[in-house]
Amino acid sequence: MDHTRLGRSGLKVSRLCLGTMNFGPETEKADSHAIMDAAHEYGINFFDTANVYGGRLGRGATEEIVGGWFATGGGRRERTVLATKLYGDMTDWPNDGKLSALNIRRALDASLKRLQTDYVDIYQFHHVDRQTPWDEIWQAMETAVAQGKILYAGSSNFAGWHIATAQAEARRRNFTGLVSEQSIYNLLTRDIELEVIPAVLANGLGLIPWSPLQGGLLGGVIGKEREGKRRLEGRSAETLAAHREAIVAYEDFAGELGHEPGDVALAWLLHQPAVTAPIIGPRTREQLDAAVRALGVALDAAALSRLDEIFPGHKTAPEDYAW
């Protein structure tokens, strides 16, 4: 497993990030623990979670599963670069969501308790808070750093100008600011190429793409559909209908390359200069094994060009839509 620095920080993380959103609602605790052990065996040291994950088991359940795994010892916490997130409302009461100084303090302490650890490596804003001023947010984060409860700050689902503003306000306070941004990014969804990726590169952030397979649409859905193994409904079915021709061409091209479609989708992300580590969210050990396969897929210039033909991307704004 290769490791790389997270943005401009000195922190080294694996080229794949283990997403834990399925732990609990989709994957039982014992199987979740086994997947995390297997991830360490592969050399994956970067784990991502959030305080709201838990699905039908309730918000916080996923952090509790991760915390229970840490509590089994064996150096599991020490070998893990742990990222969690706050923003979403944890209850119906005021101040139990968003990025106020009060919620940052309460949410962080609650996550630390569930995770059974005394610090989080990367504490991430799950969304931008348009009502809370950056002076308040950064003061609360500075306090958490001084207390030793967090080491770095990260963002998720920020626009390019949100990143630029956050970093400008942090520099004004002589604070490090953000070291990473999580965004949806894959061959089908490339909007962040307009302004988020330029902002990430200009400000020295590591990019952590989520939904690298676009909810499975880049994981061989046409082949599975033909075999009767998968039938899509709702928004996924609508997206497939809108992009069927491109997805068919993509799966055919993956076959020409001799790789599974999902492996090619992950490999494409790993070939993008801004990308630190795509988030993989396995429900099973087999899905983890499949994701790791992508690390061995090399795409030459011709292959990357063909993928751009199938799924056109964006130029940096404003040249994408103006001169």
pLDDT of residue 219: 94
Phi and psi torsions of 106, nearest 5° = -70, -45
Q: Indicate whether 31 belongs to any domain.
A: yes
**Pairing outcome for strands 120-125 and 279-280:** unpaired
CA separation for the pair 84, 116 (Å, rounded) = 13
pLDDT (average), residues 54-75: 97
**Pairing outcome for strands 12-14 and 120-125:** unpaired
Q: What CATH number is attached to the domain comprising 280?
A: 3.20.20.100
Q: Indicate whether 247 belongs to any domain.
A: no
Model pLDDT for residues 182-232, shown as the tens digit of each residue = 999 999 999 999 999 999 999 999 999 999 999 999 999 998 878 776 666
Phi and psi torsions of 64, nearest 5° = -65, -40
Domain count, the chain: 1
Q: Indicate whether 37 belongs to any domain.
A: yes
How big is the CA angle at 77 (ends 72 and 78), to the nearest 5 degrees?
125
pLDDT bucket at 143, cuts 50 / 70 / 90: very high
pLDDT of residue 252: 97
Residue 299, Ramachandran bin (φ over 0: left; ψ between -120 and 50: alpha; else beta): beta
pLDDT of residue 224: 85
Q: Is the per-residue pLDDT at 14 higher than 70?
A: yes
Length of the chain: 323
Model pLDDT for residues 151-169, shown as the tens digit of each residue = 999 999 999 999 999 999 9
CA separation for the pair 72, 86 (Å, rounded) = 25
Which among 55, 63, 68, 67 is positioned nearest to 25, based on CA atoms? 55
Q: Indicate whether 274 belongs to any domain.
A: yes
Q: Helix, strand or coil for residue 316?
A: coil
Q: Indicate whether 52 belongs to any domain.
A: yes
pLDDT (average), residues 46-72: 97
Q: Indicate whether 232 belongs to any domain.
A: no
Catalytic residue among 42, 53, 119, 321: 53
Q: Provide the residue range defining the domain that includes 127.
A: 3-219+261-300
Counting beta carbons within 10 angstroms of the beta carbon of residue 53, is it exposed (0 to 12), middle (13 to 18) or buried (19 or more)? buried
Looking at residue 177, what DSSP letter applies?
-
Q: Is the per-residue pLDDT at 237 higher than 90?
A: no
Percentage of residues of the chain with pLDDT beyond 70: 98
Share the mean pLDDT of the chain.
96
pLDDT (average), residues 2-8: 97
Percentage of residues of the chain with pLDDT beyond 90: 93
Model pLDDT for residues 19-44, shown as the tens digit of each residue = 999 999 999 999 999 999 999 999 99
Q: Is 53 annotated in the active site?
A: yes
pLDDT of residue 265: 98
Q: Indicate whether 228 belongs to any domain.
A: no
Q: Look up residue 124 and give its two tokens.
A: 């991430």
pLDDT of residue 231: 66
Q: Indicate whether 313 belongs to any domain.
A: no
